[in-house]
Amino acid sequence: MEELTLIPKQQAETLLPRPSRDTTPRDRRYYVWTVGCQMNVSDSDRLESALQGVGYAPADKADDASFIVLNSCSVRESAEARIIGKLGELQRVKRNNPDTKIVLWGCMVGPNNQSIFKEKLPVVDHFVSPSAVDEVLSLAPNPVYQLEEPALPMANWEHPPVSVHVPIQYGCNMSCAFCVIPLRRGREQSRPLAEVVEEVRRIVARGAKEITLLGQIVDSWGHDLPGRPDLADLLRGVHDMPGLVRLRFLTSHPAWMTDKLIATMNELPRCQPEINLPVQSGHDAMLKRMRRGYTVQRYRDLIERIRGTMPDISLTTDIIVGHPGETQACFEGTRELMQEIRFDKVHIAAFSARPGTRAADMEQDAELAISEETKHARRIELERIQEHIVTESSAQWLDKTVEVLVEGESRGRWRGRSPWNKLVFFDDRDDWTGRLALVHVTSTSPWSLQGHVIGEGTTH
Ligand code: SF4
């Protein structure tokens, strides 16, 4: 085997010529296809960066790649179905080019299902557990270089993204009845504070302006580390990084959100006023059945404390309708809570049974299972209510000025986000990428604001 050149990470990130899309041969082209959450997107970004660091170039389509990675999600049956469909398409690619290596990566791959998959999915050469970037990288057959350390999650070196997600914790110790993640991603594992701070420093030094710290229960970060630091400590640790403009974190769990964290968010000016706090249901019987670890009143009290400290906070949530055992009264509890809190964004999902979970067993009980028709009707009802709420809350921005961190262009217009994470579009001749723009809002829709630029924002 050809000897590899060992290159230090800094050199790989800044000095190496980018493998060219046009001239790199097929045996050093990769194709990464990602389904699922921000954690998967972040893992895939990191993998792409690492692959480019060892001499691979991206391919626009699977046919042009010798190394194909599908980063999978199993939170819902439909996500798994998309992956299975894609693997079906890849059979043709493999027939035409038998040397193609196909890796199935991510949440579909658990410790107990690999042997079943091996039989069912012969087109796959390797199965790799979620987030194991180094393991996927080691399977790439034709590296030119070898990285001394894992690469950063920034695939495009010439134009680093404005906003980067940084995983700070893997796995989850909770056991929500409906959720397959603990079975696939394992126990919680926090990355050490110094490691995260160093990674953020390197990413920001390369030009990123906004960092989102990612974890399945991000507000529980640190409880498994020596000295038990917490997320508030980590926010302080990265907050003053030169060049950093905005700091966010995702996804919180109501049982872990502390007054210290709320106070720290309020105190740190680069911390953006947004919290994602999945409630899942607005009825105690359902929360108990779902094993969420809090009551509706406790959730309400928490929201009150957050709004008491940060009155303009943007609150987003996740809700599941049609979970086994959800009576009409339970559903109405959820609807009322949604109307009472008026979230800025709600991700509403109809329950989908995941094999191996407690809720999948409950779904087998005819007395608990909810018909697909009812699930659908409940989802539509909540979506309509939410659309009405966000239409009203967006309209409040009309004729006001928002500070927008511009991420790039979209169909000839500049696209960015307000501190509350609302999408904002505007036209201007200047290049606004990575800059803060003050935008006067001239029209609103439920999901975005539009306006014109009136000046440059200020960094804190
Ligand atoms: S907190 Fe519950 S829903 Fe969230 S990842 Fe853990 S088990 Fe899943």
CA of 181 to the centre of ligand 1 (A): 6
Structure tokens at 232: 């508030």
161 found inside a domain: no
Rounded to the nearest whole angstrom, what is the distance from the C-alpha of residue 306 to the centroid of ligand 1?
A: 22
**What CATH number does the domain containing 214 carry?**
3.80.30.20
* Nearest to 250, CA basis, from 47, 39, 70: 39
Of 339, 370, 393, the residue that ends a domain is 393
CA 320 to ligand 1 center in whole angstroms: 13
Q: Are residues 341 and 194 in the same domain?
A: yes
pLDDT digit string (tens) for the chain, length 460 residues: 334 444 444 444 443 445 555 678 899 999 999 998 888 988 998 899 889 888 899 999 999 999 999 999 988 888 888 999 999 999 999 999 999 999 999 999 876 666 667 778 889 999 998 888 989 999 998 888 777 665 565 544 556 789 999 999 999 999 999 999 998 888 999 999 999 999 999 899 989 999 999 999 999 999 999 999 999 999 999 999 999 999 999 999 999 999 999 999 999 999 999 999 999 999 999 999 999 999 999 999 999 999 999 999 999 999 999 999 999 999 999 999 999 999 999 999 999 999 899 999 999 999 999 999 999 999 999 999 999 999 999 999 999 999 999 999 999 999 999 999 999 999 999 999 999 999 999 999 999 999 999 999 987 7
Q: Which of 393, 414, 429 is the endpoint of a domain?
A: 393
229 ligand 1 Cβ < 6 A: no
- For residue 45, being part of any structural domain is answered with yes
User: Do 355 and 410 belong together in one domain?
Assistant: no
442: domain range? 401-456
Residue 156 belongs to a domain: no
Count: domains in the chain? 3
Query: Ligand 1 centre and the CA of 83: distance in Å?
Result: 22
Q: Which of 361, 393, 425 is the last residue in one of the domains?
A: 393
**Angle in degrees, CA 153, 38, 262, rounded to 5:** 100
Q: Report the C-alpha gap between 82 and 365 in whole angstroms.
A: 28
CATH number at residue 58: 3.40.50.12160
For residues 57 and 206, state if they share a domain: no
Question: Measuring from atom 4 of ligand 1, which residue has the nearest CA?
Answer: 216
Nearest residue (by CA) to ligand 1, atom 8, is: 179
Distance (Å) from CA 278 to ligand 1 centroid: 10
Q: Are residues 268 and 320 in the same domain?
A: yes
Query: Phi and psi dihedrals of 25, rounded to 5?
Result: -70, 160
Give the pLDDT score at 148. Answer: 63
Whether 432 is covered by a domain: the verdict is: yes
Q: Is residue 154 part of a domain?
A: no
157 within some domain: no
Does residue 206 share a domain with residue 310? yes
Q: Give the per-residue pLDDT at 279.
A: 98
- Is the C-beta atom of 176 inside 6 A of ligand 1? yes
Does the C-beta of 181 come closer than 6 Å to ligand 1?
A: yes
First to last CA, the chain: 52
- Ligand 1 atom with the smallest distance to the CA of 172 is 6
In a domain, 406, yes or no: yes
Asked whether residue 181 is domain-assigned, the answer is yes
Model pLDDT, residue 154: 56
Question: 202 with 249: CB under 8 angstroms?
Answer: no
- Residues 87, 106 within the same domain: yes
Dihedral sign of CA atoms 453, 456, 458, 459 in order: positive
